[in-house]
Structures are given as structure tokens and as C-alpha cells.
Structure 1
């Protein structure tokens, strides 16, 4: 019964996505690029001007043809039914695991599964997101290995693939080149994007993203090469066998509760950042983008819910403007790692830079706006030192070549090695 109900829900949701073709066929907004034009080609010695002109014309025609195929051909979504089937099976197993918690009194096993979810969450938030995708800080080898294993426990593709898709998301947010474009609806941004073929723009624009720094890390290369050996052991085998041998639990409970239910819940926690954090919340830093700040999502996703801030300053290791760790456990973890010398060069945003941006492009929901209105803060004095009128929000992180000079100058580097 459960698979049929879940499968019907997926089909109804996908039908709704398909009817949203108006959004699917929009042209992609391109970010700035520094690629050389074909006109920069220097003719070889002895090559005639006519031959050179003919070659340039041919190259131009091929480029135009390729552009037309990507951006002008109407896009028709194709459902990947194999992925749909896998999600139906996964959620059926997770529901059965939920039933076993009550039927077998497997509350301790569920708690152990939650601890695994926390470790997997750190692999996503502190590891593949803030470290590898955005280069918001640097980590020594032991920490990178630990985060790689935690990211494998989370099973959300390899570090390389995760970073590639996430950098494309930041660079081309809410366009056809965005892998989980929120303009195509909540369900698509949440999980539907994994149940259909990627829009051609995702692949084409993805080729423009610099991934050389990712492949230069030997930890990433090791995981990429052995991913389908490391991932099953970390994600399914160890979480199931540990309570089996330590607590004497049945293999049935260990597998369905500690492995499958935990995995499904951790996936939805991450997916909420792509969906709910683009729909329900405030935009205190930039009112002209879809990403929002959501306290609920931040609690579920270990500090990743301050998404409006994060899209404006993706290179901040805190991924939010917070003075405490109450809603940002990942930042607490990274500060502890910095204290013991495993994390260093943690980059963050100065208060002056934040306040200037809030005043210029925020939606008025930031606390400082109310303070200014009540004459409690001298905003002019705080921002007089900066000329920060040309921030670029479409950057994937610190090493993005398009990051503006003012962001680099205004960044705060904490505890450099």
C-alpha cells in the first residue's frame, strides 16, 4: 500500500511540474565570463587571410548552432523512471522503519540513527558545502578525511559532483541552468530535480565552472575513485552493524531504522535548503533573489537555513549572521576545529559590510533597520569607511574569479594558520 500511495504522490507532483513549461523554457541569464573569443586566434605562418576568415566563419556558425540548440529549442522534461522507482523503494523502507520504532520499541536505535544523521550532516554542511564548494575556510588533512567519510555517510553523490552542482546553483540561481531551479516549483526544487533529466543549460553552463581546486585535493580524488566502495560501507553497512553487535538489536531494526529511515530523513533535511529556504522566510540582505532566511530550516539543516545571507555572501564560513550557535551548530563545530588547529583561514563578513548591504537591498526585516529607525544605531558612522555599492551576488565562493574587490578587501580572516 505504501509504495502505491507514495508513487501516486510523485506522479501527481511531476504532472504539476510538467504543466509549468512557461518557466522551463525561459532563457538562462548568463554570468560574466572571461573566456577568449574565437577572434583572438592568431593565424599560423603561411595561412591565407581567406582561409582564416573561412575558419572563423565556420567556428562562429558552430557556436551559434550550439547556442541555439541549448537556449532556443523548447525544453521538454523527461522523467527518469528508474530514479522514481528508487525513491519509492527508499521511502517505503523508511516508513517501515518508522513503524518498527513503535512495534519493536526501537527508540534507542532511532537515537543512534539520529547521531549518524548528525555526522552525515556535518559532512554536508561543514565539508562539501562550506569547505569544498565555497572555500570559506581551509582544513588540514585529518579534518578533510573525517569530513569526506561523513559526506560519504550522507550519500548525496561524491564531493566532486556535489560541488559542481552547487556551484552551478549559485552561479545561475533560478535559471534553467540551476539544477534545482526554484522557479519550477517547490517539489522540483525539493526532490523532483533528481527524478528527471537535467535541463541542457545545466550541463552547458556547468562546463564554465572552475573545478580545478576540487580535483587538486587528494582526499577528493581518493573518494571520487572509490566512491561506490566507500559510500555503501559508510552509509548502510556500518550504521546497521554497529547497533546489531553493540546493542544486540535485530538486523531488521538496524537496517530499516538506522540505515534507511535515517538516510531518508537526512536527505529531506538537505532538500529543504533547496526548497523551503527559497519560498518561506525573510530577505533581510537581498530582496531581489528567491533565497530566504528560515529559522526552522536552519534548525533542521544544522545552520544552513540562513539562505538569503548565504547567497549574498557564500564565502562566509558561518553561512549566516549570528552571534551565537543556537541555530548554527556547524559554525560551533568549525570554531572548535579552529581552536584545536584543524581549521584555519576562516573567512567572514564585517559588520559594516553587512549593514551597508541591508540598508541598500534588504526587505526591511533586518533588526538593524528597526534600530536605525529608532535612532539606536549610527549607520553612517559604521559604513562611512566602505564603498560597497557594486557587490556581485552571483559567485560560488571565495575563489570565484568574479568576486568583487570590495568583498575581498572587506572580508575578515579568522585564526589564520
Structure 2
């Protein structure tokens, strides 16, 4: 959702200018006037309401299956959760939305597959909407505007049509860099098929095939329970991390530092920092501390699969704290 701001950052120890977001995008037609834009944002999408309700009912049922499942199924389900999370945090978010580091083709293919396991819209749509979120945060053009309340920012935004401003502003964003990536285009073209395979079929079949878990337990734990938890963890970044916590970097914006979200979202809860410095690959001042996503990207760089990590200098961070922070640490 953001056009990467200007200024200098540290890239592999050297100060460089942050990259501009490039490109053009295609979206749904915009409503003709302001009134219809507002009416559109109140139109309930009943299909989403019903499906999301059934998903959460299934998740409650899945909790009762945990004691009956093989311990290896627990481990596999958690591994799937981590892969799912990385598909969003290291993939759609830090790589494709913010271009905060570069990834080789094998790593991009892995992250695209992991993103399909996450089933939170394809990389193109996720990244486009996220850039809109950053550029127009807490306005009607923000897809999950936190000023409309916790429930709306968490999941309610999926229950109604997008506000017309989201569509209108989104059309004006430059996103050709996404369309120029063949991995993004490929995933978008075969998204439904990849979601069925990565989000449901593979997580379900592995426990059944390798250690004899029942397909029933495998489906509800490795697919339904894992998927629902990963969704809610991501949503907490939009809701809780925009409402609860301190603002040591910029007290004039809504996003906060939230330790609970940081833990659940494998490093995405340093949200006041992230909205202040969205081009930093670590999304945090503290590097790999409390940040498994940063550890993963660092490991990929060590393996030669990633490079060009962008960082903010300590001097820039301290200056920003003194200028706009709330005085907390």
C-alpha cells in the first residue's frame, strides 16, 4: 500500500536512496460519486460472512481433535503455520509490497507457494492493497481503516465491498514492478489451483501419507486450524497494532508497537516503526530480535538466495525519535 518514501537508507552497509514504487495497475470500476462510494462500503458480502463463520466454527471443532492427533501432526501443522506466515511477511509484505530486499528466482518461487498456502489474495492484489494502506492509512482509501473500529480493521473489511476511495486511489498507484515479475504473474494466473494444493491438499496429505494420520484429523488441524490462526494473526496487525501500544517513532500516526502481535505475526508487530520506515527489510529497529522473519531473510542472504537488504541508519532512527516520537522506548 505504500509509495516508498524518499530519503537515504543503509543497504548492505552503504547509504543509498530508497527505491520508488513503479507501475500501473488494473482494478474494478470506481463508483460515480462520493455518496455511492460510501454506500458501496456498507454493502455486505454475505458469501464472505457465511464462509468465514463456517471456517471459525470448524476451527473450534478442530481444537477438540488436538488430543486425538499424532504428535507429528502437531509439529507438521506448526511448520505449515510458519511457512504460511513467511509467505505473507517475508513474501507479499517485505519483498513484493515494499521491495525492502531482493530475492532470487528459487526463493521467489518458494515464497509464492507459501503465499498461496496463506490464501489471503494473490501477491499482486495483496501488495497493491498494502501500498494503498500505507499511503492512505486511516482514511476511507485504507482497505482496513482502523478508524472504523477494531472489528472492521480486523475482519469486518472483508464482509463489505471496498470503499470507492480504495478503488479510486488504488488505480493511481504505480505497481508495474509487480506485473513485471513473472513469479507474481504466474501465481496470479494459477492462484485458485495453487491455493487448493498449498492451503488444503498438501497440508492434509502429508500426515496421512507419512505417519498414518487420519485424513479427518489432518484436514482439520493442518488445514483449517492452521489457516484460521494464520488469518487472525495477520488481521491483528491491521487491528490491534493500529490501536494498542506505544509510538516511539511517530506519535502522529495510528500504528503502534505491539509485543503480542510481534510474537504471533513472527516479527510484524513493530508497527509504529514499520509505518515510519516502511522500506526497512527488518520492519524493526532491533534486527533479528523477536523477529523470525528477519532471521529467515538473513539466512536466505547467507545462502546466497537474497541480497540488497535495506536498513535505516541508527542516526536516522534516533533523530526521528527525538523529533516525532512519544518519548517511550
Is structure 2 residue 84 aligned with structure 1 residue 112?
A: no
Is structure 2 residue 184 aligned with structure 1 residue 220?
A: yes
CA deviations on 1:135-171 (whole Å, 9 max, x unpaired) are: 0011111110111111111111100010011000001
Partner in structure 2 of residue 335 of structure 1? 298
Partner in structure 2 of residue 281 of structure 1? 245
Partner in structure 1 of residue 10 of structure 2? none
Partner in structure 1 of residue 319 of structure 2? 356
Is structure 2 residue 219 aligned with structure 1 residue 255?
A: yes
CA contact (8 A) 2:241 2:269 kept: yes
Partner in structure 2 of residue 84 of structure 1? 49
**2:33 counterpart SS class:** helix
User: Hey, what's the Cα distance between the residues in 2 that align with 1:139 and 1:287?
Assistant: 33
User: Hey, what's the Cα distance between the residues in 1 that align with 2:266 and 2:152?
Assistant: 23
CA contact (8 A) 2:144 2:238 kept: yes
When structure 1 is superposed on structure 2, of 182-191 and 93-102 the one drifting more is 93-102
CA contact (8 A) 1:280 1:294 kept: yes
Poorly superposed stretches of 4+, deviation over 6 Å: none
Bigger Rg over Cα:
1
CA contact (8 A) 2:31 2:164 kept: no
User: Hey, what's the Cα distance between the residues in 2 that align with 1:362 and 1:233?
Assistant: 45
1:204 to 168, 180, 185: 168
User: Hey, what's the Cα distance between the residues in 1 that align with 2:71 and 2:170?
Assistant: 44
- The offset of 1:356, in angstroms, is 0.5
Instruction: Return the structure number with greater relative CO, CA threshold 8 A, min gap 6.
Output: 2
Matches within 5 A, 1:387-406: none
Partner in structure 1 of residue 289 of structure 2? 326
Q: Go from structure 1 to structure 2 and tell me whether the alpha carbon gap of 1:183 and 1:111 turns closer, same or farther (over 3 Å shift).
A: same
CA contact (8 A) 1:303 1:331 kept: yes
Q: Which runs of 5+ in 2 are unaligned?
A: 4-29
- The offset of 1:70, in angstroms, is 3.0
Q: Which runs of 5+ in 1 are unaligned?
A: 1-30, 32-65, 367-417
Q: Go from structure 1 to structure 2 and tell me whether the alpha carbon gap of 1:67 and 1:221 turns closer, same or farther (over 3 Å shift).
A: closer
TM-score, normalising length from structure 1? 0.70
CA contact (8 A) 1:140 1:343 kept: yes
Aligned residues: 300
CA contact (8 A) 1:71 1:201 kept: no
User: Hey, what's the Cα distance between the residues in 1 that align with 2:247 and 2:270?
Assistant: 9
User: Hey, what's the Cα distance between the residues in 1 that align with 2:231 and 2:38?
Assistant: 31
- The offset of 1:74, in angstroms, is 5.0
Partner in structure 2 of residue 296 of structure 1? 260
Q: Go from structure 1 to structure 2 and tell me whether the alpha carbon gap of 1:357 and 1:94 turns closer, same or farther (over 3 Å shift).
A: same
**2:311 counterpart SS class:** strand
CA contact (8 A) 2:262 2:290 kept: yes
**1:201 counterpart SS class:** helix
